[in-house]
Structure 1
Amino acid sequence: MAIKWLSFYIPLMWSCLCSFKFNPATCLQNETDRLALISFKKAILQDRFQVLNSWNDSLHHCNWHGVSCGRRHPDRVVALNLNSQDLVGSLSPYVGNLSFLRLMNFQNNSFHGQIPQEIGRLRRLRYLILSNNSFQGNIPTNLSHCSNLKFLDLIDNRLVGNIPAELDSLRKLGALGLGRNKLTGSIPPSIGNLSSLWQIFLGENDLKGQIPEEISRLGNLENLAFTDINVTGEIPPGLFNISSISEISVDNNQLHGRLPSDIGLTLPNLRALRFSDNRFTGPIPISLSNASALKEISIQSNRFSGLVPKEFGMLQHLMYLEFAQNQLQDDLSLFNSLTNCTILTYIDLSSNFLKGTLPNSVANLSKHVQVLSLSENQLHNAIPLGIVNLPNLRFFDLSSNYLTGPVLVDFEKLGRLEYLVLENNKFTGIIPSSIRYLSFLSFVFMKFNNFNGSIPASLATCRNLIVLDLSHNSLSGSIPPEVIGLQSLSILLDLSGNGLTGPVPSEIGLLQNLAQLDLSDNRLFGIVPSTIGKCSSLELLRLQGNSFDGEIPQVLSALQGLLELDISRNNFSGGIPDSLTQLRGLKYLNLSFNQLHGMVPKRGIFLNASAVSLMGNNDLCGGITEMKLPSCLITNSKKNNLSLALKVTIPVVVAAIFFGLLVCSLIFWHRKRISRKKNISMPSFEHQFLRISYAELLKATDGFSLANIIGVGSYGSVYKGFLEQVGIEVAVKVLNLQRRGASNSFMSECQALRTIRHRNLLKLLSVCSSIDFEGYDFKALIYEFMVNGNLEKWLHGRNVGEDGQEGESGNLKLIDRLNIAIDIATAIEYLHNGSSSTIIHGDLKPSNVLLDEEMTAHIGDFGLAKIVSSISGEVHRYQSSSTAIKGSIGYVAPEYGLGDPVSKEGDVYSYAILLLEMFTGKKPIDESFKDDLNLHTFVETNLPDRVMEIVDPRIAFEDGGGSFKDCILSVMRIGVACSVEQPGERMKMRDVISELIKIRCSYLKESLNQG
């Protein structure tokens, strides 16, 4: 009561004080608006960008940030625009005193609480934009008093209750956005009274009932979005007579009925028709071809039948064609007409009744096609070779058809392909070796065909492969060590149901990131290699139906994530190892039909008889009662056998130890002799490098001209140069040997890059260790030149272009950032697990990520790298002995500050900070981070509700709906999960890659869906 009393009398008192100099009426009006703004500011709890600092007595309130005043009434506030300012707090009811206000825009902030009823007093208000906040409660009914309102946007909040019928009095309202809330009830028929309405978005609420017929009265309607609101019944027929409509979205409801046959004539301006996931029936109207502006037809998951109109080839703007999961019938001659659609990007005709052969005209489709899916139809014959004319194809799915013959496609020409799905057909011949050229390939599904021959070892060149399923074919030969050791595999390797022979290569231990491994039903033999114990991420292991022998490996106890283990139908012998009881998460264990004997344990999974199968092992005994096995008999024969074993074993062991000591002594003596002969000034390189002299580098860089400097680091400068002898541009990193640690940095980088090769690592072309023309030591590293500079300049500053000159940095779109994030993660995963030694980068940050002409990311600067021996775990250091923390502030893992040794988890932390920086646009040392606030906690405290408030504003404009927000939210969650304080709780890099690829695929599909 006291506050309300003061709010009434303070303006009055002020008017009396200033009446000696000013017009009393003007003074009172001026002070009313100023006090209303001050009350607004007091309700703000956080202002991280300090945008309200200007709201003080030193400035007239019309000059405050976000405040605009009128021309006729220069002291009255007409606009309050604080869009995307990261404000946290409630909305003060005193905004209702801004009686001249026409625009109120608080989009993309963190306002909470209820929308104040007092807004209904703003009779002049035209634009009310409160979207993407956390407002709660009901929509104020007295918004109906804002009779001049033209634009009402309350999208993406937490509003509940019914849509007020009183809103029908807003006869000037043109746009109504209430989507992405928790509204209930039905769509009020009174909406049909909003005669000026041209856009309405109610999607993603908990509404019910039918779409009211009264909506057909909205003669100016252009965009209607009722996606995912649980409405039923039919679409009012009158809606199809509103000729101004350009977009209709009613996805994910329970609507039924038929589309009018003349829909393309009555809706001539139609651009997008989205009817997916409903119950529509009948044919697809041919008249849609008359809607010449049509870009998208999305009708998947319905019951449409009949033919696909070939007239769709007349739609010059068509980009997205999604007809999956219907009952359509066609002979695919449709493709002959689709060749006229020159910007077509997405074609999904899967799960229908299409017959015939995929025509050769597929070669003439738009070069923009990224998705082509014809799975689950009745296609036959071979894949047309012309498919290689689609250079941007990323998703290619022909699964579950009747396709035959060998696959003769030259996949080298489909360099962007990520998904290759040919499973459940009748393909024959060998697996095409040209797949090895698909550097982006992530998923390969070829199961249930008749492929023969051996598994090509060249598949190992697909370094981004995370799923390889070649099961149930007629493959023969041994398993290539290169394939079973492909460390990028993280989700599935399935070679089951073939005729593979030989032992399992020991390289299986390199699958440290793999979740599911299935080698069942082949002709494999020998013992299971002990290296399988290194596959620490396995959740499913199936080896049944082979001829493995020996005892069940004890190392299986190391697979603590294992949920299912099946080694039935083999020749395993001996007892059941007690180590299997240590697998705490195991849900299913099948040991049946082997030659096991002895006592069955009574611990772990063996306490659950329904989870264990032991049949076909007739010499097992004991176990819990439910297993119904005979009791074990204890006899003296065991003692006799033990005595005999000791008599034989002890002499053998003693002899083996003596022999082992002798061999070790000889090896030690031999190495000591060799070491005396060595005199190495720098690490040797496995591959032959260019031989480049100091003079050649001097010429290539115009005498190390300042004009050619493209970067300056801790230990030297980087120059752009041109090597005439080979005709290529290079980046030359010249070490400042006067700087302490520079020589060690040089050695560390040489050692780290000695044997590793990966598409996402900066390629070292050569090194130069020489004397300059003044007699001083000179050391330099020569790299490939990256025309698009480094990531730091794209995110935060000016960027070096192809001509070497600085210019304004371009904007990285969301999809660009996703691709770069995946590239970096792939490189880190390779460093950690992709070679014989583990390499810790130690200084991962944007300035060390270089971008080539295709914006592919390459990690560079290994000056702080450390190599961990794969055998001993020893860390080889090529740095000074200083105990100071190495790395860059903000990116260094917190445990390093406590003296912990370098680790993979430290690189994961640095990657997480880089990832969050890429998507928030904030550096980890941002000035706004004070006290305990850092980039990790900043993002974590804003998830999930305020994620759109912290996204980099440069990509926020791309917001195309829920898919954009979902993508950002998923990426931010990965960044938070990888930067938690405890190293052991951080995500594994292979899981990061898998999740990011899923996010990218989902976003691409939704982006194409939105045109």
Structure 2
Amino acid sequence: MRVSALRLTNQTLGGILGPSLGNLTFLRELNLTNINLHGEIPKQIGRLKRLQLLNLKNNKLQGEIPIELSNCTNIKSLENLNLSSNNLSSIIPRDLENLTFLNTLDLSFNNLYGEVPSGGVFSNVSAIFLTGNKNLCGGIPQLKLPPCFELPSKKHRKHLKKKLIIIGVIGVGLISFIAFIIVHFLTRKPKRLPSSPSLQNENLRVTYGELHEATNGFSSSNLVGTGSFGSVYKGSLLHFERPIVVKVLNLQTRGAAKSFMAECKALGKMKHRNLLKILTCCSSIDYNGEDFKAIVFDFMPNGSLENLLHDIEGSENHNLNFTQRVDIALDVAHALDYLHNGTDQVLVHCDVKPSNVLLDDDIVAHLGDFGLARLILGATGHSSKDQVNSSTIKGTIGYLPPEYGAGGPVSPEGDIYSYGILLLEMLTGKKPTNNMFYENLSLHKFCKMKISEDILDIVDSCLLIPFAEDQTRVVENNIKQCQCLMMFAETGVACSEEFPSQRMLIKDVIVKLLAIKQKLSC
């Protein structure tokens, strides 16, 4: 059995956390608040690579914060870490700042000491809680902690001076060498060769030849889909352990090159567990001497949400139950929240739909295909030169917000509309382009009308609880599920209202979906 959540709170259980805890490798939530735990936090907790929430507050835990806990090569998805009100006595592991998705860290009321890191989550004063640790120093200025002083001795200063002289000599030599290389290449006759520029901070670099070999010459047997700007192939690189997907741009299509630049630019520096990660981009020439542009992604073994919802390519949508659909909806909501609010720039996806939601081994959703994405705000908050009128956005019929059809400005609210339609499609199993929707009847209006009548009339039959011998349990479950289905439908309808100002905020959507998830788990 795969345990994904373990919650024991406010009990007088006592005991220690044993090393066998590390065997629960599918655990996403571990909440053991106020249950009188003692001893040390086992280092085996570093095996829980899917862990998103770890809450061990109000216990009697001692010792160090395990370095394995901050090993970002194992625990990549940790978002919330609470070790407050214990007896932990150690320095704060600097590697905690490398946990990319960690957005809340509470280490208050322990006996921690030493320098507070300043990167990652530690750079956000509203995300960390360190009160009650009297011997901490350093960190960002907003923490108002005393500085960490380390006065060098005379011998150390003399040694440091020698080091600086050596570094200076090496630096001058290095600059001279670089200057020679630059002059050498500038004076060479340029020769056009295939190139494979990769994204910043990425080690993977590929050539056209490697991609050609990885996809069996871009054969039809490797083809997994086609889109408005190109074709997508599954492949396997010789020196890369995971399967890949190669999106090859059709440069004969108008706007394809611009789409390539938009997608590489949009995702190049974005880091979020619910965004499809670009491994690298390849801009080169093919064996015929023609321009070649491709984007390489991780392969998502469970395909797209569209495939699962509509039984495309042999997918079985009855395997996607309501709880899984709520989880997928939450994943996409978190991705949109990050795009709209998570950085100093606002990125609008412009094409949110089920075929652009891809699912990994654990049915975790990743929002992809940023070929239409638009950066609409710069760090200063003023309109960017990249801000565009929606008349240049094609999008997808059925998911395109009404204001885009009228030439209105691109906005996060446009993504919310598309997301609302996606929710209603997940609920009903019907596409917005279904033949039953015509003239003044749309998927939005259909669901809005049925909410006040009988919600079960519009729900995908795969979501209904099957008949069982225990009639009482069936009735109780049906009542609870009907309430959750109603809340889900209301969220989809509220997101897809005609006027942007009437649509839900994405943060409110997340709160509503979390409430549904909690109600389903009771």
**TM-score (ref. length: structure 1):** 0.42
Q: Which residue of 1 aligns with 2:420?
A: 912
* Corresponding residue number in structure 2 for 1:856: 364
CA distance in 2, matches of 1:447, 1:968: 37
Counterpart residue number, 2:121:
483
User: Which amino acid counterpart does residue 445 of structure 2 have in structure 1?
Assistant: T
The answer for the alignment partner of 1:843 in structure 2 is 351
Pair 1:740–1:451, CA change in 2 (3 A): same
| Letter matched to residue 754 of structure 1 | G
Q: Report deviation, 1:835.
A: 3.7
Residue equivalent to 2:486: 969
Residue equivalent to 1:902: 410
> Any residues of structure 2 matched to 1:772-811 within 5 Å, and which?
772-799=286-313, 811=319
User: Does the 8 A contact of 2:102 with 2:121 survive in 1?
Assistant: no
* One of 379, 382, 398 as aligned partner of 2:32: 398
State the secondary structure of the residue aligned to 1:757. Answer: coil
Secondary structure at the aligned position of 1:719 is classed as strand
Aligned partners of 1:845 and 1:911 also within 8 Å: yes
Deviations 1:764-783 (A, max 9, x none): 22222222233322222222
In the other structure, the counterpart of 1:991 is: 508
Does the aligned pair in 1 maintain the 2:399–2:418 contact within 8 Å? yes
Instruction: Tell me which amino acid in the other structure corresponds to 1:973.
Output: E
Q: Summarize the alignment of residues 235-314 of structure 1 with structure 2, pairs less than 5 Å apart.
A: none
CA–CA distance in 2 between the matches of 1:682 and 1:872? 34
Is 2:518 aligned against 1:1001? yes
Does the 8 Å CA contact 1:748/1:862 hold for their aligned counterparts? Answer: yes
Which residue of the other structure, out of 45, 57, 64, is the alignment partner of 1:411?
45
Alpha carbons 1:970, 1:999 under 8 Å: kept: yes
> Matches of 1:752 and 1:403 in 2, distance apart?
45
Distance 1:771 1:469, change over 3 A: closer
The answer on whether the counterparts of 1:471 and 1:497 sit within 8 Å (CA) in structure 2 is yes
Q: Are 2:460 and 1:952 aligned?
A: yes
For residues 876-928 of structure 1, the C-alpha deviation after alignment (integer angstroms, 9 at most, x for no partner) is 5499x993443112222223234332222222222222122112212122222
Return the match for 2:16 from 371, 374, 382: 382
2:246 — aligned with what?
Answer: 732
Structure 1 968/449 Cα, relative in aligned 2: closer, same or farther at 3 Å? Answer: same
Q: Which has the higher strand share?
A: 1
Distance in 2 of aligned mates of 1:825 and 1:486: 22
CA contact (8 A) 1:387 1:409 kept: no
Q: Does 1:921 align with 2:426?
A: no
TM-aligned CA distance change 1:435 to 1:914, over 3 Å: farther
* 2:84 matches 1:447: yes
Match of 1:701 in 2: 215
Q: 1:873 to 1:460 in 2, by over 3 A?
A: farther
Gaps of 5+ in 2: 148-185, 467-473
8 Å contact kept, 2:196–2:207: no
Answer yes or no: is the 8 Å Cα contact 1:481–1:505 preserved in 2. no
- Stretch moving more, 472-481 or 701-710: 472-481
TM superposition shift of 1:420: 3.1
Structure 1 counterpart of 2:217, one-letter code: G
Deviation at residue 863 of structure 1 after TM alignment: 0.7
Tell me the percent identity.
43
Q: Counterpart of 2:396 in structure 1: which amino acid?
A: S
Query: By how many angstroms is 1:368 displaced?
Result: 4.3
Q: Secondary structure at the match of 1:410?
A: helix
Aligned residues of 2:197 and 2:281 also touching (Cα < 8 A): no
After TM superposition, give the deviation of residue 786 of structure 1 in Å.
1.8
Relative to structure 1, the CA distance from residue 765 to residue 502 in structure 2 (aligned partners, 3 Å threshold; closer, same or farther) is: closer
Indicate yes or no: 2:378 matched with 1:869.
yes
Instruction: Report the AA paired with residue 896 of structure 1.
Output: Y
Larger mean CA deviation between 916-925 and 989-998 belongs to 989-998
Counterpart position of 2:108: 471
1:104-183 alignment, distance < 5 Å: none
Contact 2:28–2:52 under 8 Å retained in 1: yes
SS in 2 for 1:723: coil
What letter is aligned with 2:339?
A: L
Q: Residue 428 of structure 1 is aligned with which of 62, 87, 94?
A: 62
Summarize deviations over 1:618-677 as a string: whole Å, max 9, x none. xxxxxxxxxxxxxxxxxxxxxxxxxxxxxxxxxxxxxxxxxxxxxxxxxxxxxxxxxxx9
How has the CA–CA distance of structure 1 residues 777 and 972 changed in structure 2, closer, same or farther, with 3 Å as cutoff? same
Q: Which amino acid aligns with 1:952?
A: D
Q: Which residue of 2 aligns with 1:661?
A: none
Is the deviation greater in 742-751 or in 909-918? 909-918
SS at match of 1:731: strand
Task: Report whether the alignment pairs 1:828 with 2:308.
Answer: no
Distance 1:413 1:965, change over 3 A: farther
Question: Kindly tell me: are residues 441 and 481 of structure 1, through their superposed partners in 2, closer, same or farther at Cα, counting changes over 3 Å?
Answer: closer
Cα distance in 1, alignment partners of residues 387 and 281 from structure 2: 17
Deviations 1:682-702 (A, max 9, x none): 997312353322233223222
Shift of residue 744 of structure 1?
0.7
Indicate conservation of the 8 Å contact 2:497/2:503, yes or no: yes
- Number of corresponding residues: 462
Taking structure 1 as reference, are residues 370 and 883 closer, same or farther at Cα in structure 2, changes over 3 Å only?
closer
* Alpha-carbon offset, residue 461 of structure 1: 5.7
CA displacement at 1:408 relative to structure 2: 2.4
Distance verdict in 2 for CA 1:397–1:689, change over 3 Å: closer
- Post-superposition shift, 1:464? 5.9
1:717 and 2:231 correspond:
yes
Pairwise CA distance, 1:830: 2.2
Match of 2:38, SS? strand
Is the contact made by 1:729 and 1:784 (CA closer than 8 Å) also made in structure 2? yes
Give the secondary structure class of the aligned counterpart of 2:397: coil
Higher relative contact order (CA 8 A, sep 6+): 2
Structure 1 residue 409 displacement after superposition? 4.2
Distance in 1 (alpha carbons) for counterparts of 2:198 and 2:408: 30
Structure 2 contact 105–121 (Cα < 8 Å) conserved: no
Aligned to 2:174: none
Deviations 1:538-561 (A, max 9, x none): xxxxxxxxxxxxxxxxxxxxxxxx
* Alpha carbons of structure 1 residues 818 and 898: separation in structure 2 relative to 1, 3 Å: same
What secondary structure, in the 3-state scheme, does the structure 2 residue paired with 1:734 have? strand
Per-residue deviation at 1:710? 0.9
Structure-2 change in CA distance of 1:983 and 1:453 (3 Å): farther
Q: Is the 8 A contact 1:795 1:918 kept in 2?
A: yes
The letter of the residue matching 2:243 is E
1:267-304, CA deviations, whole angstroms, 9 ceiling, x for partnerless residues?
xxxxxxxxxxxxxxxxxxxxxxxxxxxxxxxxxxxxxx
Match of 1:754 in 2: 268
Are residues 1:887 and 2:521 paired?
Answer: no
Does residue 978 (structure 1) correspond to residue 495 (structure 2)? The answer is yes
Name the counterpart of 2:167: none
1:556-595 matches, cutoff 5 A? none
User: What is the aligned partner in structure 1 of residue 325 from structure 2?
Assistant: 817
Q: Structure 1 residues 940, 855: closer, same or farther in 2, change over 3 A? A: same
CA contact (8 A) 1:683 1:747 kept: no
Q: Determine helix, strand or coil for the equivalent of 2:17.
A: coil
Amino acid at match of 1:951: V
Distance in 2 of aligned mates of 1:982 and 1:906: 10
Return the offset for 1:454: 4.9
- Look up the SS of the partner of 1:937 in the other structure: helix
Equivalent residues of 2:318, 2:462 under 8 A apart = no
Q: Is the 8 A contact 1:440 1:464 kept in 2?
A: yes
Counterpart CA distance in 2 for 1:464 and 1:937 is 37
Query: Which is helix-richer, 1 or 2?
Result: 2
Q: Cα offset for 1:376?
A: 3.1
Superposed displacement of residue 422, structure 1: 2.0
1:690 and 2:199 are equivalent in the alignment: no
TM-aligned CA deviation for residue 762 of structure 1: 1.9
Q: CA deviation at 1:787?
A: 1.9
